[in-house]
C-alpha cells in the first residue's frame, strides 16, 4: 500500500531539488512533468496532491511577478539632466516622451502590484476556507466522546 505522506513528501522534495538545481531525473525546467519525474511518480499522481499543486502554482506566480518586476526595472526611463546647470534642474525640462514613458512604467508597476494583491487575497480566501473546514473537523471530533456517553431516556407520557 502506498503511503500518501511519503508520496507527497517525494513530490515536495522534487520541487526543492529542481529549485536548488540538484537534479536526479529531469532536465531542470520547473514543470509539473519534471517534478513528477524527479519524484518518480506519474503526472496524474502529481495532480492528486493539493499541497503540491498549490506550491507549484505559488512558485510559478512568484516567478511571473519577479519577471514582471525585472522587466519594469529594465524599462524604467532614465531622466537625465545636468545637475550642475540650474536651468535643467526643473521637471519642466523633461520631454513629453520621457514623461509618457515614466507614466507607462508607473502604470505597469501598479498593474503588477494589483495582481500581487489579488493573488494574496485569493490565497487568504483559500486559507480562510481551509481554517473553517479544520474548525468543523475539530468540532466534530470534540463531539465524538460526548456522544458515546449519552444515554437515551424515554419518557412515558400518560
Q: Is the pLDDT of residue 50 over 50?
A: yes
Question: What would the mean pLDDT of 74-80 be, rounded to a whole number?
Answer: 57
Q: What is the pLDDT of residue 151?
A: 60
Q: How far is CA 44 from CA 14, 24, 37, 41, 113, in A?
A: 15, 20, 12, 8, 34
pLDDT-derived band of residue 1, with 50, 70 and 90 as boundaries?
very low
- pTM score of the predicted model: 0.44
Mean pLDDT of the chain: 79
Does the pLDDT of residue 97 top 50, yes or no? yes
Residue closest to 24 by CA, chosen among 15, 63, 80:
15
pLDDT tier at 123, thresholds 50, 70, 90: confident
Q: Are the CB atoms for 11 and 25 separated by under 8 Å? A: no
Cell of 122: 485569493
Amino acid at each position: 500500500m502506498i503511503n500518501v505522506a511519503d508520496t507527497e513528501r517525494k513530490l515536495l522534495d522534487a520541487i526543492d531539488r529542481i529549485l536548488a538545481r540538484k537534479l536526479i531525473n529531469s532536465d531542470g525546467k520547473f514543470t509539473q512533468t519534471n517534478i513528477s519525474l524527479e519524484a518518480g511518480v506519474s503526472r496524474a499522481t502529481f495532480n492528486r496532491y493539493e499541497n503540491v499543486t498549490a506550491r507549484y502554482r505559488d512558485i510559478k506566480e512568484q516567478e511571473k511577478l519577479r519577471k514582471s518586476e525585472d522587466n519594469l526595472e529594465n524599462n524604467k526611463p532614465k531622466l537625465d539632466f545636468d545637475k550642475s546647470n540650474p536651468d535643467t534642474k526643473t521637471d519642466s525640462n523633461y520631454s513629453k516622451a520621457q514623461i509618457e514613458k515614466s507614466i507607462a512604467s508607473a502604470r505597469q508597476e501598479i498593474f503588477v502590484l494589483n495582481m500581487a494583491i489579488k493573488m494574496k487575497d485569493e490565497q487568504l480566501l483559500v486559507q480562510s476556507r481551509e481554517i473553517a473546514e479544520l474548525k468543523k473537523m475539530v468540532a466534530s471530533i470534540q463531539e465524538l466522546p460526548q456522544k458515546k456517553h449519552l444515554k437515551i431516556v424515554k419518557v412515558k407520557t400518560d
